[in-house]
Structure 1
Amino acid sequence: MRLDKWILLATAALPLPSVAQTVASPDTTDDSAQSAPPAQTAASDRNPGEIVVTATRQAQFISKVPISISAFSQQSMDSKGMKSFNEVARFTPGVRFNSDGNQISIRGISSGAGSGTTGIYIDDTPIQMRNLGFSADNSAPAIFDLDRVEVLRGPQGTLFGAGSEGGTVRYITPQPSLTTFGTYDRAEISATQGGGVSYEIGSAIGTPIVTDKLGVRLSAWHRRDGGYIDHVDYKTNQIDNKNINYGDVTVLRGALAWQPTEGLLITPSILWQQRTTHMTDSFFPAISNISNGDFRNGSPEYRGSKDRYILPTLNIRYDTDSISFISNTSYFSRTNYTGYDGTLYNLSYYQDCYESGCGFQDGGVPGQAFFPFLTPTGVNPALPRYLSPSKVTNTQKIWTQEIRLQSANPEARFKWVIGAFYQHSVQRSIEELVDPQGNDFFNAVFGQSLEDFFGYPLYGQDSYITSTKGTDSQIAGFLDMTYELLAGVKISGGVRVAHTKFSFVNFSDGSQNGARTTGAGEASETPVTPKVGVNWQVDNNNLLYATWAKGFRPGGANAPVPFNACAPDLKQLGLTSSPDSYKSDTVSSFEIGSKNKLFDNKLQIAVSAYTIKWKGIQQSVNLNSCGIQFTGNLGQARSRGFDLQLTVMPIHGLSIDASVGYTDAVYTQTLAFGSSSPVVSAGDAIGGPPWTFSLGGQYDFPVGETDFYIRGDVSYQNELRRMTQSRDPRNQSYDPLALADSARTQVTMRMGAIIGGLNVSIFADNLLNATPRIGYSHQNRDSLLFTQETLRPRTIGLTIAYRQ
């Protein structure tokens, strides 16, 4: 037997984990080729089995792109049961997703403070939010009627600008066809063990109106995710509302393509999305029976959220034989309502504040029956009924204009992209603690009103309010070039020069603030993000590459913190106030990788290794005495790791895709304010599991006129056992009760039949009904009440899809 056959059989037998499918598979196609630019159409025609991406702003086979990238077509996402970015992250090495705040970490580069570390794009429009105060909810677009999702790992500052430090996530929408009719319809219903019913229905249709001249594509989709957490009345300890953590998402999109003359394509489009949740997925472990799937939350308030945005876009493209011109104009308007559990926060803060004095008025001694306000099982039932919900409102309005000129010949020895970018963003963040019962509660418990306790009145009904308006403007020019120096050997280089400016105005008020405070400021800088690389296309099936690149995210400003309430922590840090502003931070990355097709394309591999240096990191500094935080530039870090992705097709009909991701991200500098304990210490890990694995396989087989298939996927991530910022006893924010997320294994299965364009399947998500610990936390390190999340319990359902 030939050596390559031995290797192939051995590889197929290995239990290789899989996270993302980045190379060709039977269900991976390029839906947009029908109305794509000539280079992309030609690429698809040459190899219809391999996905075409535009990660370099030019259409290329994914196996020819010298970047670590994962790409998923809509068909691939359907077969894997992907319904949100959480599932995309599960199948993508080096990527972690915090669903509570929708924060994306790529290669360990993540921060809940300051500007985003990951660029999030819908086509050519960036949509990520900056954190002006309380963390904004970067609600990711829904996964329906997409051409593909691209996940680019490593800094992408040259082509994608500010915020693409760890990488960039691109949602590419399908374009209207000028020649053919097409439709995509999907409906689903499922039941969660111990929970509610979930369902969805959606339809997309595309058709030419005037052949070769005018085409349209319309889509609509709605999904309801049923809840599985029950609400408990803290007074009676009885369930008063079941399955409270349900949510809905609705998406509408329309696009029109007009080709008035050969080579010119004008495409206006509009996208509208609304996502609502009735309650978060957190529960109280002390009153839940996790092993039996009985999850309960005893908070007095329902912490829901709503995120709504609209994105009109005008794309103009003109292609000649040698040059393409692209103009993309967009306006992104978003309103985001989110928050935290204000009642639990206030009860925790009021108790700590009273016991420590907080620098306020001394009051009467409350009855001992009221203490502690928060017990391990929830709010102390001896307390009078009290409700003080938080409200966080973020609004965002962004004008974006990008113009590009680029070479059009994919076979040219010299290829280039030159462009200009302008963006003007106005974002407003308002955080409120609505406290209409505050005076009555304080009179009953402390024997004096809330306003007397703090020595300052409410702001309307708010015991605390802070409002910040931030304005970002950015203008940039960029250039990216590739030259084939020798046969198959290409050198590349690029640079982006930007001028960014940020200004803000802020006011804070309310009893907890102690006085009305105001702030204003501005900052500007001119960052330069270069990139150089070399790649060797050994032959049509093997690529080697090396890249060095930089990325950055702009600085910003802090709202003033209430001095009286936060005085103990400020004093411990050697500060008299929080810093007015923070600077940009930067990353520099070196990466080597290869992409290979072996054994007549039966084995396809993409592997890369990297090292990243991160300087001036924007991180939160927690002030435990008042429960408020500010953003500062906290030292340096480095991240090292690798990602491996492969697809094996050992026999006809069987496809196995697998991957491994390893990330080792740690702080390399100890940073302290004054003589206080460090805020962060060298060696502290930057969140997230170091190892992620996944393995998936699909077997397709015909029976008569019907094609049947069965698919299974398993993913695993281990527990982070190293010390983190909050688990390191050297640090100011050390929490002896903090626990990392436990290891988790998730298994999904799907089997179905395809008859013509109709695809009917049944599926099971979280087949083993795993209940790992996720997001275990409490209000502050003295609080006895903990909350946590876990995976959605076992869910079994039916999906019906139709394509034409």
Structure 2
Amino acid sequence: MKTLWSTSAAVTVLAALGAGGSPAFAQTAPATQAAPTTQAAPDNTNAIADIVVTATRREESLNKIPLAIQALSGDSLAKLNVVNFEKLIEFLPNVRTASHGPGTSSIFIRGLSTDSPGLQIQGTAGTAPSVALYINDAPASLVGRNLDVYAADLQRIEVLAGPQGTLFGASSMGGAVRYITNKPDLQNYHAGFNGTYSFTKGGDNSVAGNGYINIPVIKDRLAVRVVLYGDQQGGYIDNVPGTYQVPFDAHIGQAGRLPTGNPLLVMRALQSCQLTATTTVANCNGSQYNAPTRQSINNSQFVEDNYNDATYKGGRIAATFKINNDWSIEAMHVRQQLKVDGVFEYDPLVGDLKVQQFNPNTLRDKFNETTWTLKGRLGFLDAIYTGSYLHHSAVQKADYARYSNLGLYVPYYECDRGVYYTAAYNGNIGNTCYTPSKSYQVRNKTQRITHEFRVTTPAAERLRGTFGLFYDLSKLYDNTDWSYLEPLAGFINPRRPNPAVNAHDPSVRPLQVGFFNDIQRRDRQIAAYGEASFDIIPKQLTVTAGARYYDEQASINGSSNTSFASGGRGIYNPATGTYSVSPTATPFYGISANLNTLLKDVSPAKYSGVLLKGNITYKFGGGSLVYATYSEGFRPGGFNRRPCKVGAPGCSPAQFAALAVYVPDTVKNYEIGTKLALLNRSLQINLAAYQIDWSNIQMTVFDQNISNQTFTTNLTDARIKGVEGDVTWRATPDLTFNGAFSYNDSKLTKYRKNTVVLLPLGSPLALSPKFQFNVRGRYEKELSSGLRPFIQGAFHHVGKSISSDISNVDIRYQSYNPTLGYANSIPIVYNGVTVRPGDVISPIPVSQNQAAYSTYSASIGVSKDQWSIELFGENLSDARPQLYVSGNDGTNRITTSRPRTIGLRVSTKI
């Protein structure tokens, strides 16, 4: 178990904040908030508290707006032990993630998902997200990975389902997730602290603490609120001893049987014996290829129990200054550091919660976001300007040894030239594949600045509206190095990027780096939007119309760089079988793709258009309503580095141009819903039924038959029909039940391009289970002593799904022979079997089945006045839910939940 010292120290400091010497008193709502978080009917003690949200850019009651939205108040988040998104989705039935662990999740709502590419290329080749992420009014979405925001001292989290294009713009076509923080209180001093210690079955213990302090510096004028948190989550996956080598069938002498294993080794086994169409070379015996000697790697230096731990550290400071009765200024700065070691996926072939990793796996993720807001009145209008600056950096190192399972060019990187260019070198430059110690390092940096100005007319008027202007500029810098090269195979010449590519990072790379990206992406958005509502019948029948004009500009520059044909190898000495540094070697990497020239005619790409929304709502029965909505959404297009090699079969200049750019994908949503307040507002039922038509779906593909670089293209259309709902029943003043469910029937409906990589039409979308639901209940009663004992239980079920809509990327035997070229490649007779160019080696399928699962949690405790203590248990059945199954790198890995965890939580306020 790794040290808990740093987190324990943070907890101690926070405890001092929360347990100061002032007498305890009730915390009041911050004076700067125009409406409290919850409201309850005064005439009914069983009435459900109604959360006030700003999903429509106005403060309105959650259950009184015609929108499919779920919201969890800060109090509910604490009671449910929700600290990050992985825990949050247990209570959001129509939300899924493709998660590789903390800091590496993609969010999907209503089944708008098809695949999730590997982490190593999400910055360069990843698409924009389909769900928008906000911290208050500041956009915080990123390309490739979402901010893993720690939920401390939040007023609420809002999850808006379905396209939110008119009010929230690009990348909100699936919905939006909004983290709403508690604001400074101008009137009262108060502070609070929460501490948690927990034990995980078979894993390390975890400890967490967070606290806040609110200081009215000048009462009714200026206040400051400070939040600090630390959370060290112990590991539970073991890295166990193992060895590994480049795969190649050892029984190659068996008649009638082809060799299998790494595709390039197989291809070379079949082709490289052919010096001409009728003669073979010295390293071959007829058609019998001499298999290479393959060295093994072991992971002895990385073996560790419970080696996947994560630590969140951070805080925020917010200030509010009331200029006068009409105007105020708010400012906030958020800073978070996430440190992750190990992997959060296990390999079922190795064992339960076990993996075999051969290189370091670490993530260092940091973000800072500064926001500023000016609020006031312009005549009868409420006006608000808000701006934000987000700086995010992620440095991730990962083991990549098992890329040898399917990487076409792996033998070039780590084997002697005689292994794969037998004919060209007559078998005289070695026949060994060295230890497959491969890894990659991602260095991503994002800078995003936004400005938004909007006005709203008085909510009480029969005709009312919200109108705004929006500007967004995002820059992503991606530098990813793949360490493939084996010095024993001759890669001993140090190199740097070719000056022709104007690299953002021009430094000399380590000897082992065989390929790297040096990419800069830039996205600029300008938009004008508005929504207006008119009461046809006051307080009963309302129509709403909205529109957003957007002008998007996306650009990319930089390069991909390769060790091929770049003088990376030293001078070979056949007498000793060793290499020496070449004094005349080119000190530069080869250029695999110079985007500054390849894409100069298409970058920047410009997209503009109008998104529409329409709604009609009928209110009845003192708090109930029905509605019908039409809404639209989109996410921006982008570029590919080198989708194919011009001149190779299947890659004409026209085909290259068709794959160089992918255009925006769009959704159209048709929805009807109802919100029913029943039994004197003690029972609330919210339901929505929808159909979503998704066109020009962007999908990321690694198809080595087309390109050795991952690319994105518009491959298909889909349709989603679904029903979702949530129920809250306050059976008595002491007993409350909550439940939520979703049913999604999703189907691929049309191929946009000729493809052999997708599942058949009619197949479901990835990570879109047909049925999922959750239920929870809480009983809490105040005794005459003032103590309030409580007990709470929850059940969460997710149906079966698939991990990707890419069925399989079969690797075909190349039509290219290293000696004979493309045109003269011929069938080969191997062990009595005729093998032709285009015959297939099938790796494990990309699309994996994800089994249905259920989890249980419970807690019991007591509170009084401003303190509480509780004992909680999570994943009580110790299940192994398949949250995400990845078939990357030719091996299955399963992201699962933390095993059974029992813990103690204490909190206090003053």
Q: Give the TM-score of the pair, scaled to structure 1.
A: 0.84
More deviation, 176-185/317-326: 317-326
Contact kept, 8 Å, 1:344 with 1:779, in 2: the verdict is: no
Aligned-partner Cα distance in 2 for 1:360–1:642? 60
Residues 726, 735 of structure 1: 8 Å contact kept: no
Q: How does 1:480-499 map to 2 (within 5 A)?
A: 480-487=531-538, 488-499=540-551
1:535-574 matches, within 5 Å, as 535-561=617-643, 563=645
Corresponding residue for residue 514 of structure 2: 463
Give the partner amino acid of 1:411. A
Given the alignment of the two structures, is residue 126 of structure 1 paired with residue 129 of structure 2, yes or no? no
Distance (Å, rounded) in 1 between the aligned partners of 2:616 and 2:323: 40
Letter in 2 for 1:524: K
Q: 1-side partners of 2:311 and 2:105: how far apart?
A: 16
Q: Which amino acid letter does the alignment assign opposite residue 469 of structure 1?
A: Q
Q: 2:362 aligns with which of 283, 304, 307?
A: 304
The aligned amino acid for 2:546 is G
Contact 2:99-2:883 at 8 Å conserved across structures = no
For residues 407-486 of structure 1, what are the structure 2 equivalents within 5 Å?
A: 407=457, 409-435=458-484, 438-440=486-488, 443=489, 460-461=510-511, 462-486=513-537
Q: 2: distance between equivalents of 1:535 and 1:171?
A: 27
Query: Residue 518 of structure 1 aligns with which residue?
Result: 594
Report the alpha carbon displacement of residue 196 of structure 1 after superposing the two structures with TM: 0.3
Give the distance between the partners of 1:622 and 1:360, measured in 2 at CA: 28
Amino acid at match of 1:278: D
2:684 corresponds in structure 1 to: 604
Conserved? CA contact 2:107–2:131, under 8 Å: yes
Where does structure 2 lack aligned partners over 5 or more consecutive residues? 1-26, 43-47, 117-125, 244-297, 424-431, 499-507, 567-589, 597-602, 813-839
Does residue 63 (structure 1) correspond to residue 76 (structure 2)? The answer is no
Is structure 2 residue 219 aligned with structure 1 residue 161? no
Deviation at 1:574, TM superposition (A): 9.8
Report the CA distance between 1:795 and its aligned residue.
Answer: 0.5
Normalization by structure 2: what TM-score?
A: 0.75
What is the match of residue 832 of structure 2? none
Cα distance change on mapping 1:657 and 1:665 into 2, 3 Å: same
Q: Does the CA-based 8 Å contact 1:137-1:338 persist in structure 2?
A: no
1:794 aligned onto 2:875: no
Q: Quickly say closer, same or farther: Cα 1:737–1:397, change in 2 above 3 A.
A: closer
Q: How does 1:615-626 map to 2 (within 5 A)?
A: 615-624=695-704
Distance 2:564 2:364 in 1: 27
2:662 corresponds, among 557, 576, 582, to: 582
Answer yes or no: is the 8 Å Cα contact 1:671–1:679 preserved in 2.
Answer: no
Alpha-carbon separation, structure 2, partners of 1:263 and 1:737: 58
Is 1:658 paired with 2:756?
no
> Which runs of structure 2 are paired with 1:88-103 in the superposition (5 Å)?
88-100=88-100, 101-103=104-106
Is the aligned partner of 1:692 residue 2:772?
yes
Q: Name the SS of the counterpart of 2:30 in structure 1.
A: helix
Shift of 1:621: 2.2
1:751 aligns with 2:801: no
Distance in structure 2 (CA, Å) of the matches to 1:77 and 1:52 = 15
Kindly indicate whether residue 455 of structure 2 is the aligned counterpart of residue 405 of structure 1.
yes
Instruction: Decide whether aligned partners of structure 1 residues 679 and 467 sit closer, same or farther in structure 2, where only a CA change above 3 A counts.
Output: farther
Query: In the alignment, does 2:909 pair up with 1:803?
Result: yes
Deviation at residue 525 of structure 1 after TM alignment? 1.3
Aligned residue type for 1:525: Y
Matched-pair contact (CA < 8 Å) for 2:190–2:214: yes
Q: Which amino acid aligns with 1:102?
A: S
Aligned-residue offset at 1:679: 4.2
Cα displacement (A) at 1:561: 5.0
What is the alpha-carbon distance in structure 2 between the residues aligned to residue 513 and residue 394 of structure 1?
28
| Maintained 8 Å contact 2:197/2:207 | yes
For 1:379, the equivalent position in structure 2 comes to none
Q: Is the 8 A contact 2:702 2:809 kept in 1?
A: no
1:263-303: CA deviation from partner (whole Å, max 9, x where unpaired): 21101111111112102211222221x2xxxx222110132
Change (3 A) 1:463 1:608: same
Number of aligned positions between the proteins: 727
1:630-675: CA deviations, max 9, x gaps?
01111211111011100112233110101111112221102444xx
- Structure 1's 360 and 606: CA in aligned 2 closer, same or farther, altered over 3 A? farther
SS at match of 1:286: coil
Indicate the residue corresponding to 1:190 in structure 2: 198
Task: Tell me, yes or no, if structure 1 residue 706 matches structure 2 residue 714.
Answer: no
Instruction: Find the aligned partners of 2:907 and 2:380 in 1 and give their Cα distance.
Output: 41
Q: CA separation of 1:562/1:610 partners in 2, compared to 1, >3 Å: closer, same or farther?
A: closer
The percent of aligned pairs where both chains have the same amino acid is: 25
Larger Rg: 2
How far does the alpha carbon of each residue in 1:98-143 deviate from its partner, in whole angstroms, 9 at most, with x for none?
Answer: 222311110111354411100000111111112xxxxx22132111
2:447 and 2:37 mapped to 1: Cα distance? 38
CA contact (8 A) 2:32 2:186 kept: no
Given that 2:805 and 2:847 are in contact with CA atoms closer than 8 Å, whether structure 1 keeps it comes out as no
Q: Is the 8 A contact 1:404 1:420 kept in 2?
A: yes
Equivalent residues in 2 for 1:320-469, closer than 5 Å: 322-338=380-396, 340-346=398-404, 348-349=406-407, 362-363=420-421, 385-407=435-457, 409-435=458-484, 438-440=486-488, 443=489, 460-461=510-511, 462-469=513-520
Q: Within the alignment, does 1:148 sit opposite 2:196 as a pair? A: no
2:749 paired residue number: 668
AA in 2 matched with 1:109: L
CA deviations on 1:534-572 (whole Å, 9 max, x unpaired) are 1011132211111101111111111125739x968x669
Q: Say whether residues 1:315 and 2:396 are aligned partners.
A: no
CA RMSD of aligned residues (A): 3.2
Q: Quick one: structure 1 residues 206 and 513, their matched pair in 2 at CA, closer, same or farther if it must change by over 3 Å?
A: farther
Contact 1:263 1:320 in 2 (8 A): no
1:214–1:576: structure 2 CA closer, same or farther, 3 Å change rule?
closer
Q: SS at 1:90's partner residue?
A: helix
Asked if the contact 2:372/2:388 (under 8 Å) is kept, the reply is: yes
- Kindly state the Cα deviation for residue 725 of structure 1 after the two structures are TM-superposed: 3.0
1:114 aligns with 2:127: yes
The answer to whether structure 1 residue 179 and structure 2 residue 187 are counterparts is yes
Q: Is the 8 A contact 1:649 1:656 kept in 2?
A: yes
Q: What residue number does 1:233 align with?
A: 241
- Match of 2:110, as an amino acid? R
| Separation of aligned partners in 1, 2:565 and 2:796 | 46
Q: Which residue number corresponds to residue 374 of structure 1?
A: none
Distance 1:670 1:765, change over 3 A: same
Are the counterparts in 2 of residues 560 and 577 from structure 1 also a CA contact under 8 Å? no
SS at match of 2:604: strand
1:306 is paired with a residue of what secondary structure?
Answer: strand
**Deviations for 1:467-519, whole angstroms, at most 9, x for unmatched residues?**
21011111111111111111310000111101111111021112269840201
**2:254 aligned with 1:219:** no
Shift of 1:628: 3.2
Secondary structure of 1:637's counterpart equals strand
1:105 corresponds to which letter in structure 2? F
Q: 2:322 and 2:486 mapped to 1: Cα distance?
A: 63
Residue aligned with 1:212, SS: coil
SS of structure 2 residue aligned to 1:550: strand
Query: For each residue in 1:151-171, what CA deviation from the matched residue of structure 2 results, as whole angstroms up to 9, or x when unmatched?
Result: 000100100011000000001
Match of 2:428 in 1: none
